[in-house]
Structure 1
């Protein structure tokens, strides 16, 4: 049997990384259960360097790859979680990499403070998007206020954005963009995790 060639979803990691915002996405992208093509994706972390980072939850992560070595053509998606670094120079390399991905037609998914970093970089000026609140992005003086949508998660072309309190909606948008599940399976997944309806569990078991 031929071995499946895996595509890599890269998760950017940095100090103050908001652990809770990407757990649904990474666990289900990396795990084959219910997937349309089981084993198609793997998740790897990319940091400012190969030095360990410490998340907001106090976890230490040793990145698989340094940001400078990440190329869009080697990735299926770049995922950016919230953080306290987004308005500082330390986060500029990550927004620059996001621009590189978008220019290459490779999707980027950003949640919480990471959307603030993208706003400061001008990457939300011509795409529909969301964040924690319109006021949050407006306080940054960005030029995309007319494209803000008050929704848990928004996808516009190759960019996914989400609010900090919407990790399930963020995950669903990622699964949709990556074509992880058949549509009816994704509906059942969201019924279970998003709507908290136990019927979704039984539907997934039958899938």
Structure 2
């Protein structure tokens, strides 16, 4: 299995919401149905090298520490939700890293509580975005982007992808769209299969 040049980086921290990134990371890593042959290496990024425990009780040892992560060495930074995003500023360094990625033109994908984290960093004020509800973001100090809020399952605006906690499949869809891993026909079929259990989509994927 050949891999793409630059890995996809996934932030990991205690209370990480396990269900929010699996569709994206599994299909990026598999390389199946990709427009070009090859897969993405998935690299986990912790604040330190110490193990973290997800909301589902899984123990993850980070591959890399956040201070060693640079945009030029990455294809994408994924920020999952976690209870810690709403419990204080412990994860604020990830929001600052997201700013560095966006400033460098490298995409960032945030879901659930991570959207609130980057809202506090001011990264949503001038970009279309979504979340669980706009009121959740309006409660975040530093957020001034209500006029750019979109009531949609997931939103891609330039290099930023956002989604609410109940939309992991749509979140993955917009990640795939931004990285251009699937043709439009395959992307549509992938979403119809995994989000809607549309059996007719399977034939399109098998033909790919």
TM-score bracket relative to the smaller structure: over 0.9
2:99 aligned partner: 99
Q: Does 1:134 align with 2:134?
A: yes
Indicate if the aligned counterparts of 2:3 and 2:40 stay in contact, CA closer than 8 A: no
1:188 aligned partner: 189
- The Cα RMSD (Å) is 1.2
Indicate if the aligned counterparts of 1:6 and 1:40 stay in contact, CA closer than 8 A: no
* Distance in structure 1 (CA, Å) of the matches to 2:20 and 2:99: 22
2:119 aligned partner: 119
* Distance in structure 1 (CA, Å) of the matches to 2:75 and 2:4: 12
* Distance in structure 2 (CA, Å) of the matches to 1:135 and 1:43: 33
Deviation at 1:5, TM superposition (A): 5.0
* Distance in structure 1 (CA, Å) of the matches to 2:48 and 2:37: 31
* Distance in structure 2 (CA, Å) of the matches to 1:25 and 1:13: 15
Deviations 1:116-165 (A, max 9, x none): 00111111111110001111111224211111110010111110000111
2:201 aligned partner: 200
1:44 aligned partner: 43
Deviation at 1:113, TM superposition (A): 0.4
Greater shift in the superposed pair: 30-39 or 14-23 = 30-39
Greater shift in the superposed pair: 103-112 or 187-196 = 187-196
- Given the superposition, is the C-alpha separation of residues 91 and 4 from structure 1 closer, same or farther in structure 2, using an over 3 Å criterion? closer
Give the TM-score of the pair, scaled to structure 1.
Answer: 0.95
- Given the superposition, is the C-alpha separation of residues 46 and 4 from structure 1 closer, same or farther in structure 2, using an over 3 Å criterion? closer
Give the TM-score of the pair, scaled to structure 2.
Answer: 0.95
* Distance in structure 1 (CA, Å) of the matches to 2:3 and 2:140: 44
1:147 aligned partner: 148
Deviations 1:88-137 (A, max 9, x none): 22111100100110111100000000000011111111111000111111
Indicate if the aligned counterparts of 2:12 and 2:44 stay in contact, CA closer than 8 A: yes
* Distance in structure 1 (CA, Å) of the matches to 2:167 and 2:15: 19
2:177 aligned partner: 176
* Distance in structure 2 (CA, Å) of the matches to 1:203 and 1:165: 26
Indicate if the aligned counterparts of 1:7 and 1:41 stay in contact, CA closer than 8 A: yes
- Given the superposition, is the C-alpha separation of residues 4 and 21 from structure 1 closer, same or farther in structure 2, using an over 3 Å criterion? closer
- Given the superposition, is the C-alpha separation of residues 5 and 191 from structure 1 closer, same or farther in structure 2, using an over 3 Å criterion? closer
Give the count of matched residue pairs.
Answer: 205
SS state at 2:118 partner: helix
* Distance in structure 2 (CA, Å) of the matches to 1:111 and 1:69: 23
1:23 aligned partner: 22
* Distance in structure 2 (CA, Å) of the matches to 1:154 and 1:86: 20
Structure 2 gap segments, 5+ residues each: none
